[in-house]
Amino acid sequence: MDFKRIEVIFLIVFVCLNIFLFTSYKQNQHVETVNNDDVSQSTMILREMHEDQITIPKLATKVHSGYYLSSQPNETLQNASQKLQNQRYSFSNDRLYSRLVRPINAKNGKYTEELKEILANPRMIAFGKHYRYSKLFSTTDRIVYTQKLPEGNLYDAHGEIIFQISGKQIVSYEQTYINKVATLREKEATITEKQAVLALYSNNAIANGATIKWTTLGYSRLLDANNSSVYIPTWFIAVENKNSGNVQIKRINAFSSVLMKATDDANLSSSTSS
d(CA 115, CA 226): 37
Q: Quickly state the pLDDT bin for 17 (edges 50, 70, 90).
A: very low
In this structure, are residues 253 and 234 in contact, taking their beta carbons and an 8 Å threshold? yes
Mean pLDDT of 37-55: 86
Cα 195 to Cα 88: distance, rounded to the nearest angstrom: 46
Tell me the per-residue pLDDT of 259-269, one tens digit each, with 9 for 90 and over. Answer: 998 753 445 54
Q: Burial of 257 by CB count in 10 Å (0-12 exposed, 13-18 middle, 19+ buried)?
A: middle
- Give the whole-angstrom CA distance, residue 159 versus residue 43: 38
If you average pLDDT over residues 221-238, what whole number do you get? Answer: 94
The predicted-structure confidence for 87-97, as pLDDT tens digits, reads as follows: 999 999 899 99
Q: What is the pLDDT of residue 268?
A: 57
pTM assigned to the model? 0.81
Q: Is the pLDDT of residue 24 over 70?
A: no
CA-based radius of gyration for the chain: 26
Distance, in Å, from the CA atom of 85 to the CA atom of 157, rounded to the nearest integer, reads: 24
